[in-house]
């Protein structure tokens, strides 16, 4: 960077740089060898979209089987494989890579860095992901089938009683974990070292802040997951007894380890959402985020609290009363910082000048529907109530509200928000609005009745059910098919937008703020070879 000629005209500077160094190979090699954060961001996002449809197809199989009482389409063992692999793919293949993709694209642009700090590592952390998911999906075709013990893989169902293919599942999870850890290290190093001069921590954009905290969560949580799957591996194949009472172990120990990873994991999937929403709501309200520093502190306290609530997933395992009380109190305490977030978004909209472009529509839907998921979360956190709700469709409704209408809606919002910047074209507003409204309606038909199914007594992870659950299941399945089909519209909008359309300006959203909007659209291949000035 030091060799660069000082140039006051930023745009000309970027162009010069582009010509001098834009030596990317053509075709497939460009993507295989790329160390460019924008290319890698695109790869992550594309991969995540693909996995969203693979996992979605499995959800369609589940909903088709549950359309009517009785076994129609698949057998119970295959059904269990579908629920398991659907969960694994959506969590590790769709939601997490989408956020890493957004981080790759946006973090360097937002902090004025030329690229990620560790570009080669970046290439590696992406390319091991397709390998991991190939292994996972291939395990479905092994004799005895793929993983069928739920995405939470409780022992001993996942050890002594698991299919022979379990080693492949363990291997796949290990690779996914390595990918996540490498990605997280890269993001932390980038944020700590490559911020433009003058950008102190308390001046970083919210999306950067939330990802910064998320990356630390990843580094702490993922090794615990790696330990859990390793113990599963040795219990199943090497005669250890971590989780078997006969050898002095304890099956509940597995759940403690798993959820010590698992609860931070749910915040790994929602904190970056908070960042995206905190970017979009001010932009379309044309008003500053109401409380920047309290949002940062709220995010940090949610992250810290997320390490002391894990056993709220285990109230029925027979914990001592004192532990049940502790985990109830710590869990409902999370409602406080989460409330601060929601109140802040509403206060930001208050007396703004609001307009309703598609990113804003998704962001508003996020606030409402995520809050509904938060309400059911609060109810689940109350131990005596959890005894009734636990392992029913009420829980299924809860986590799909926070993951689909939470995480995924925020990803959609972010994608629409930054698409013009990435491609240089505006997306088709009419089709995008259609996508939004169809998604909004169908997703609620899909998940809202699940609350009632759970309260009425339908357990989760069952391939067939009693007759009183038939009407609502049919409705839920119809909502599911509609939601699945609606997402094809998203692909149409994205492909159209990549191909062409109305030219996007440098800053297509008049209320948006940040370095990324000072760059031309589409963003040049190389940016910020000289760091921008913080105003």
Instruction: Tell me the catalytic residues.
Output: 86, 115, 151, 179-180, 263, 265, 267, 278, 312-313, 338, 341, 460
Would you count residue 430 as binding another protein (CB under 8 A)?
no
Spell out, one character per residue from 365 to 394, where the chain touches another protein: x when CB under 8 A holds, - when not: --xx--xx--x--xx--xxxx-xx-xxx--
Q: Please pick, from the candidates 138, 223, 304, 356, the single residue that binds another protein as defined by CB under 8 A.
A: 356
Site for another protein in 259-288 (CB under 8 A): 285-288
Q: Which of 201, 237, 355, 503 binds another protein (CB under 8 A)?
A: 355
Q: In the complex with another protein, which residue's Cβ is closer, 46 or 459?
A: 459
Minimum distance between the CB of residue 56 and another protein, rounded to whole angstroms? 22
Does 475 participate in binding another protein (rule CB under 8 A)? no
CB 42 within 8 Å of CB 523: no
Interface with another protein includes 142 (CB under 8 A)?
yes
Contact of residue 7 among another protein, Cu ion, none (CB under 5-8 Å per partner type): none
Burial grade of 322 (CB within 10 A; 0-12, 13-18, 19 or more): exposed
Instruction: For the CB of residue 117, give the shortest distance to another protein in the complex, in Å.
Output: 32
Task: Give the one entry of Cu ion, another protein, none that residue 263 binds, where binding means its C-beta sits below a cut-off of 5 to 8 angstroms depending on kind.
Answer: Cu ion
- By the 8 A CB rule, do 328 and 387 touch? no
CB of 453 to Cu ion, least distance (A): 17
- Which residues of this chain interact with Cu ion, rule CB under 5 A? 263
What is Dmax (Cα atoms) for the chain? 75
* Interface positions, 81-140, toward another protein (CB under 8 A): none
State phi, psi for 195 to the nearest 5 degrees: -70, 145
Polymer length of the chain:
535
Site for another protein in 310-349 (CB under 8 A): 316-318, 321, 324-325, 328-329, 332-333, 335-336, 339-340, 342-343, 346-349
Closer to another protein by Cβ: residue 360 or 497: 360
Q: How many residues bind another protein (CB under 8 A)?
A: 98
Which of another protein, Cu ion, none sits in contact with 475, Cβ below 5 to 8 A by type?
none
DSSP sequence for 363-412: HHHHHHHHHHHHHHHHHHHSHHHHHHHTTBHHHHHHHHHHIIIIIIHHHH
Nearest-approach distance from CB 14 to another protein, in angstroms: 31
CA gap 313, 263 in Å, rounded: 9
Q: Which is nearer to another protein, 377 or 501 (CB)?
A: 377
| Terminal Cα distance for the chain, rounded | 21
Going by C-alpha positions, the residue among 284, 271, 266, 286 that lies closest to residue 206 is 271
Half-sphere exposure (Cβ direction) of 280: Cα atoms closer than 13 Å = 29
Give the nearest residue (CB) to Cu ion. Answer: 263
Q: From the CB of residue 484, how many other CB atoms can be counted at a distance below 10 Å?
A: 17
The interface with another protein within residues 61-90 (CB under 8 A) comprises 69-72, 76-77, 80
Residue 474 in the binding site for another protein (CB under 8 A): no
383 binds, among another protein, Cu ion, none (CB under 5 to 8 A by kind): another protein
| Residue 7 or 72 with smaller CB distance to another protein | 72
Whether 124 and 53 have beta carbons less than 8 Å apart is answered as no
Whole-angstrom distance, CA of residue 278 vs CA of residue 345: 7
Q: Write the DSSP symbol of residue 195.
A: P
Residues whose CB is less than 8 angstroms from the CB of residue 55 and which lie 6 or more positions away in sequence, other chains included: 85, 86, 89, 90, 93, 94
Region of 144 (left: φ > 0; alpha: ψ -120 to 50; beta: rest) is: left
According to the binding rule CB under 8 A, does residue 1 interact with another protein?
Answer: no
Residue 468 CA to its chain's centroid (Å): 34
What is the nearest approach in angstroms of another protein to the Cβ of residue 228?
16
């Amino acid at each position: 960077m030091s060799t660069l000629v000082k140039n006051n005209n930023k745009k000309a500077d970027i162009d010069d740089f582009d010509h001098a160094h834009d030596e990317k190979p053509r075709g497939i090699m460009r993507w295989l060898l790329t160390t460019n954060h924008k290319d890698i961001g695109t790869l992550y996002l594309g991969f995540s979209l693909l996995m969203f449809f693979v996992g979605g197809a499995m959800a369609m199989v589940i909903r088709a089987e549950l359309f009517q009482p009785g076994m129609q389409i698949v057998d119970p063992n295959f059904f269990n494989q579908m629920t398991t692999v659907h969960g694994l793919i959506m969590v590790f293949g769709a939601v997490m890579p989408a956020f890493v993709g957004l981080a790759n694209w946006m973090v360097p642009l937002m902090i004025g860095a030329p690229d990620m700090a560790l570009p080669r590592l970046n290439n590696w952390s992406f390319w091991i992901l397709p390998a991991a998911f190939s292994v996972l999906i291939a395990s479905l075709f092994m004799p005895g089938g793929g993983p069928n013990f739920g995405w939470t893989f409780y022992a001993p169902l996942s050890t002594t009683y698991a299919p022979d293919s379990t080693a492949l599942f363990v291997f796949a999870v290990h690779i996914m974990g390595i990918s996540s850890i490498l990605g997280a290290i890269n993001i932390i190093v980038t944020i700590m070292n490559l911020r433009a001069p003058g950008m102190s921590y308390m001046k970083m954009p919210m999306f950067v802040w939330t990802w910064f905290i998320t990356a630390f969560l990843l580094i702490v949580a993922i090794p615990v997951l790696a330990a859990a799957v390793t113990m599963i591996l040795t219990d199943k194949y090497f005669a250890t007894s971590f989780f078997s009472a006969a050898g002095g172990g304890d099956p509940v120990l597995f759940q403690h380890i798993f959820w010590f990873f698992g609860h931070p994991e749910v915040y790994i999937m929602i904190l970056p959402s908070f960042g995206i929403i905190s970017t979009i709501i001010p932009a379309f309200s044309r008003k500053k985020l109401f409380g920047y520093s309290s949002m940062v502190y709220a995010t940090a306290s949610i992250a810290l609290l997320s390490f002391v609530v894990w056993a709220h997933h285990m109230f029925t395992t027979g914990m001592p009363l004192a532990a049940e009380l502790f985990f109830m109190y710590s869990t409902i305490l999370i409602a406080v910082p989460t409330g601060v977030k929601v109140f802040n978004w509403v206060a930001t909209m208050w007396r703004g000048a609001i307009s309703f472009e598609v990113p804003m529509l998704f962001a508003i839907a996020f606030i409402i529907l995520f809050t509904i998921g938060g309400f059911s979360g609060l109810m689940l956190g109350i131990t005596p109530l959890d005894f009734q709700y636990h392992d029913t469709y009420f829980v299924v409704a809860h986590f799909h509200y926070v993951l689909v209408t939470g995480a995924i809606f925020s990803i959609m919002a972010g994608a629409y928000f930054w698409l013009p910047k990435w491609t240089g074209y505006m997306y088709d507003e009419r089709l995008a609005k259609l996508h939004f409204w169809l998604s909004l309606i169908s997703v609620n038909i899909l998940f809202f009745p699940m609350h009632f199914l759970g309260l009425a007594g339908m357990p989760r992870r069952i391939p067939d059910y009693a007759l009183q659950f038939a009407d609502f299941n049919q409705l839920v399945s119809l909502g599911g098919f509609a939601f699945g089909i609606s997402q094809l519209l998203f692909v149409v909008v994205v492909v159209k937008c990549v191909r062409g359309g109305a030219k996007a300006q440098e800053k297509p959203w008049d209320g948006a703020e940040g370095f990324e909007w000072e760059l031309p659209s589409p963003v040049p291949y190389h940016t910020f070879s000289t760091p921008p000035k913080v105003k």
